[in-house]
Amino acid sequence: MKIAVDAMGGDYAPLEIVFGAVRAAKKYECEIVLVGDEPAIRKVLEHEPDWEKLGISIVHASQVIGMDEHPADAVRTKKDASVVVATRLVKDGICDAVLSAGSTGAAVTAAQLILRRIKGIGRPTIATPMPTPKGVTLLLDSGANVDSKPVHLVQSGLMGSLYAQYVFGVKEPRVGLLNIGEEETKGNEQAKATYQLLKNMHTIRFAGNAEGRDVPKGNFDVVICDGFVGNVVLKFAEGLAKTILKLIKEAVKNGGLFAKLGALLLMPTLKKLGKRLDVTEYGGAPLLGVNGCVIISHGSSNAKSICSAIGVAVDYVKGDVLAHIRDSLAKEEILTNDGEKN
Amino acid sequence: MKIAVDAMGGDYAPLEIVFGAVRAAKKYECEIVLVGDEPAIRKVLEHEPDWEKLGISIVHASQVIGMDEHPADAVRTKKDASVVVATRLVKDGICDAVLSAGSTGAAVTAAQLILRRIKGIGRPTIATPMPTPKGVTLLLDSGANVDSKPVHLVQSGLMGSLYAQYVFGVKEPRVGLLNIGEEETKGNEQAKATYQLLKNMHTIRFAGNAEGRDVPKGNFDVVICDGFVGNVVLKFAEGLAKTILKLIKEAVKNGGLFAKLGALLLMPTLKKLGKRLDVTEYGGAPLLGVNGCVIISHGSSNAKSICSAIGVAVDYVKGDVLAHIRDSLAKEEILTNDGEKN
C-alpha cells in the first residue's frame, strides 16, 4: 500500500508533515510518497537518515496552493501544486490514497477534478470523526457543500454508514439526521424532505432525528447534516473546548496555592481524559464520494495527527470502502438515479 | 412593574417556578402575577406566608399546555391555558412582561397570536444569551423559525443589537453573521444574501462573518443565524458541556487518591468558574419582535434560573427595548418594507 502525502500543506509544513510521515512509515504497513519541494523535504529527512529503508520516497512538485487562494482557480492553473500532483498519483494508480493538511477547498476540488465523483453520487462530503464517551460519531458533511439537496444528505448517510461499518467496525451503524426535534415533522424543508427519503432506505439503519445534544453524547454512530451546519458545529466545538481549557488554566493560575496543588494532582487523570477526547487521535477526515481515498487533515496538524491520519488512510484502503459504496449505490436504485440528476 | 409568570410551565412546575418568583419579588422592584392552578400555587406559597406583602398575586388558569402538544392547536383550543392567560395579561396592559418555562412553541405561538408582531417585523426570534470569557454573546435566532429569509435575519440583527445595547449596556454592539468563513463570498445562499443586506445598514455595527469558534470565544456581542442552526448549536453546546463534566467526574472517581484530593482542592476554583459560565445566571431568552416583553426559560429551570429570568424581564422593560426596536425600524426604510412583504 502506498500513501501520497502533500508535504507542503498545513500550518507547520513541511516539518510536521514529514515527521508525521516518518512516524507512520514505522507504525503502519505502508509506503509513503512525500509530494512537494524536494530540497525542503530532504532537509527535514536529514533527521531520519534511514528514510528510504522505511519505504519513504519523494515526488517533486514545484508549486504550493495557499490557504487564501481560490480553490478552483488554483487547482486549474497550478498544475504542479503539491496537492494536485499527490492526487494525480492516486488517479494514475501509483498510490492508494492521498492526504493533505493544506487548503480543504483545494484538496476537495483536486479530488473532484482529478478523481471524479463516484457514479451516482451528487456531491462528495467530508466525514469528520468526533470522539464521544461511547466511541466515535461520524459527522458529515462537515463543510464540503452547502445548500445540499435531500438526496445528497441521504447519500452522505449511506457513505458514512459504510465507513463506520468497514473502518470503525460498527455493526449496523445508527444513522441520525441532525435536526431541531425528534419528531418526523420537525425541522426545515431540507430536513423534512431528507427524513422521508431516509425512512425508505433499506441499506442503512436510520435511527431518526438527532438533536444537537445527541452528537457529543454519542447517541448515534453517524450524523448527517448540510455542510453549513456541520462546519458551524465543528468549529463551535473546537472554540468551546479551547475556551473552557483556557478559562480553567486562568482560574488555576489566579486560584492560590490549593488550586495549584489540586491541578497538579489532578493533571494525570485529566491528561488521560484529554487523550481520549483528542481529535488528533483521528487526525484526518475522509472525503467520501470520489473515486479514491482522500483524507483531509486539519491545517494545524502536527506530526502526531499526520501519523494518525495516515492510519485512517490505511484503514480506509484495507476496509475497501470504495467498493462497498459502489455496491450499495447499485442496490439503492432510486438514489442512484436521483444522484445523477442532481 | 408587573411580571406575569406561567406557574405551570417547566419540568419542575409549579414548585421551582413559584419559589423563583418569590426570590425575584424579594430581589427586584417588581410585582409578580403567578398564573396557573390556584390551589397548586397556594400550596407552594404556604412556605412563604408573607407572599402577598412581597407583591405576589395569583391569576387562576384551569388548563396547561404540555410539551408534547402541537403548539398552534393547543394555543387556539386551550383558551384558559396558563401561558395563554399570562400572555393576555400583557396584551391587556395589566402586566409589563410574561415569562414561561413551558413549551417554547406554545409561548411563541401565544405571543404571536395575542401580542402580534411589531409592525415591520417578518418573524419574531429568540435571543439566547451565552456566557463567554469576554461577557455575553447574544445568539439569535435560537429556534423560533427555520428557513428564514435574509430580511428576517437582518431584522434579528437589528433587534439583537438594540437588546445588547439597552439591556446589557454594550455601546455599539458588534453584530456578526454566523457563517463558514470570514470572506463575504462564503456560505450558503441565505448567508450570502444576508451579508449584502447587513453591509448596507446604518443602524447597526455589522462586524462581518462570525465562524463557529467565534461564538464561545466571545468575539461578537450579537451573532445572527437561522433558527435551525442556532438551535442545533445551542443544544450541541449543552450536550458537550454536560458530557465533559460527566467524563471528568468519572475520571476523578476512577483516578485514585491523588486525583480525588486534587479535585477536592480545585473545587472552589472550578465552582467559581462554573458560576461565571452558568447559563442559569441569565435564565431566560427574550422573544424579540412581538408587541410585548416575552421571556422564554429553559424547561429544566430551577428557582434560581426563574429568578434570573424575571430579572431579564425587568431589565427588558426598564431598557424600553420595544420602543427602541420600533424607532430603529422606522429609520431602516428598506427593512420595514421588505419585512412587511415577507
The 3-state secondary structure of A27-52 reads: HCCCEEEEEECHHHHHHHHCCCCCCC
Residue B342's pLDDT is what? 40
Q: How far A131 CA sits from the closest chain B CA (Å)?
A: 11
When mean pLDDT is compared across A207-216, A241-250, A294-303, the lowest value belongs to A241-250
Which residues, in sequence order, are CB contacts of B132 under 8 Å at separation 6+?
Answer: A243, B215, B216, B217, B218
Q: Read off the pLDDT of each residue in B171-196 and give the average, rounded to a whole number.
A: 95
**pLDDT, position B281:** 62
pLDDT-wise least confident of A324-338, B83-97, B156-170, B192-206 = A324-338
* CA angle A78–A83–A84, rounded 5-degree value: 50
Cβ atoms of A228 and A125 within 8 Å: the answer is no
Q: What is the tens place of the pLDDT at every residue in B236-292?
A: 988 888 888 788 888 888 878 888 888 888 778 777 777 766 655 677 899 999 999
Phi and psi (nearest 5°) for A126? -95, 130
Question: B140 with B125: CB under 8 angstroms?
Answer: yes
Count Cβ atoms below 10 Å from residue B125 Cβ, excluding itself: 32
The answer to whether A267 touches B255, Cβ cutoff 8 Å, is no
Res A245: pLDDT: 78
A227 touches chain B (CB under 8 A): yes
A292-314 per-residue burial string, b: 16 or more CB within 10 A, e: under 16: bbbbbbbbebbbbbbbbbbbbbb
Distance CA B252, CA B266 (A): 12
pLDDT at A25 (0 to 100): 97
Closest CB to A259 among B213, B235, B265: B265
Q: Which CATH architecture has domain A125-279?
A: 3-Layer(aba) Sandwich (3.40)
Whether domain B1-119+289-320 has CATH 1.10.10.10: no
* Inter-chain residue contact A235 with B252, CB threshold 8 Å: no
On average, the pLDDT of chain B sits at 91
Q: How far apart are the first and last CA of chain A?
A: 34
Which phi and psi (to 5°) does residue A91 adopt?
Answer: -55, -40
SS3 B196: helix
CB contact under 8 A, B273 and A251: yes
Residues 6+ apart with CB under 8 A from A324: A162, A165, A166
Is pLDDT at A280 greater than 60 in this prediction? no
- Residue B337 confidence (pLDDT): 46
Looking at the DSSP bridge assignments, the partners of residue A99 are: A5, A295
pLDDT band at B335 (very low <50, low <70, confident <90, very high): low
Whether A278 and chain B come into contact, CB under 8 Å, resolves to no
Q: How many A-B residue pairs are in contact by the CB < 8 A criterion?
A: 183
- What sign does the CA torsion over B53, B55, B58, B59 have? positive
With an 8 Å Cβ cutoff, are B228 and A188 in contact? yes
Is residue A68 within 8 angstroms of chain B, CB to CB? no
Name the least confident of A39-48, A276-285, A290-299, B313-322: A276-285
Least Cα distance to B261 among B249, B252, B248, B272 occurs for: B252
pLDDT digits (tens, 9 = 90+) for A17-36: 999 999 999 999 999 999 99
pLDDT at A197: 94
What CA–CA distance (Å, rounded) separates A101 from A285?
A: 10
Partner-chain residue, chosen from B133, B243, B262, that has the shortest CB–CB distance to A264 = B262
Per-residue model confidence as pLDDT tens digits over A35-59? 999 999 999 999 999 999 999 999 9
Give the N- to C-terminal CA distance of chain B in Å, as an integer: 34
Contact A2, A30 (CB under 8 A): yes
Q: How far is B253 from chain A (nearest CA, A)?
A: 10
- How many whole angstroms separate alpha carbon B106 and alpha carbon B79? 12
Share of chain A above pLDDT 90, in %: 74
Mutate to test the interface with A, among B228, B257, B271, B300 (most CBs of A within 10 A): B228
Domain ranges of chain B: 1-119+289-320, 125-279
What is the phi/psi pair of residue B8, to 5°?
A: -100, -5
Asked if residue A339 has pLDDT above 50, the reply is: no
Q: Are A174 and A220 in contact (CB under 8 A)?
A: yes
Query: Given 3-state DSSP classes, what are the helix, strand and coil percentages for chain A, each rounded to the nearest 5?
Result: 50, 20, 30
> Which strands form A56-60's sheet, in the order they lie side by side?
A56-60, A31-36, A2-6, A97-100, A293-297, A284-288, A125-132, A135-140, A222-224, A174-178, A205-210
Domain A1-119+289-319 and domain A125-279, same fold? Reply is yes
Task: Classify residue B302 as left (phi > 0), alpha (psi -120 to 50) or beta.
Answer: beta
**Residue A102 and residue A69 in contact, taking contact as beta carbons nearer than 8 Å:** no
What confidence score (pLDDT) does residue A268 get?
80
* Strand ranges, E, within B184-316: 205-210, 222-224, 284-288, 293-297
Cell output for A230:
456541520
Mean pLDDT of A290-313: 94
* CATH superfamily, region A1-119+289-319: Isopropylmalate Dehydrogenase (3.40.718.10)
Predicted confidence at residue B278, as pLDDT, reads: 63
pLDDT tens digits for range A302-338: 999 999 999 999 999 999 999 999 998 888 765 654 4
Q: How far apart are the CA of A34 and the nearest CA of chain B, in angstroms?
A: 30
Q: Is the pLDDT of residue B334 over 60?
A: no
CA dist., res. A80 & res. A85, Å (int) = 6
Q: How many percent of chain A have pLDDT more than 70?
A: 95
Question: In this complex, is the C-beta atom of A236 within 8 Å of any C-beta atom belonging to chain B?
Answer: yes
CB atoms within 10 A of CB B203: 14
Residues A110-165 have pLDDT tens digits of 999 999 999 999 999 999 999 888 889 999 999 899 999 999 999 999 999 999 99
* CB-CB neighbors (< 8 A) of B270 in chain A: 248, 251
Scanning A83-142 for CB atoms below 8 A from B yields 132-133
Cα(B21)–Cα(B48) distance, rounded to whole angstroms? 11
Q: Please tell me if residue B234 touches chain A, with a CB cutoff of 8 Å.
A: yes
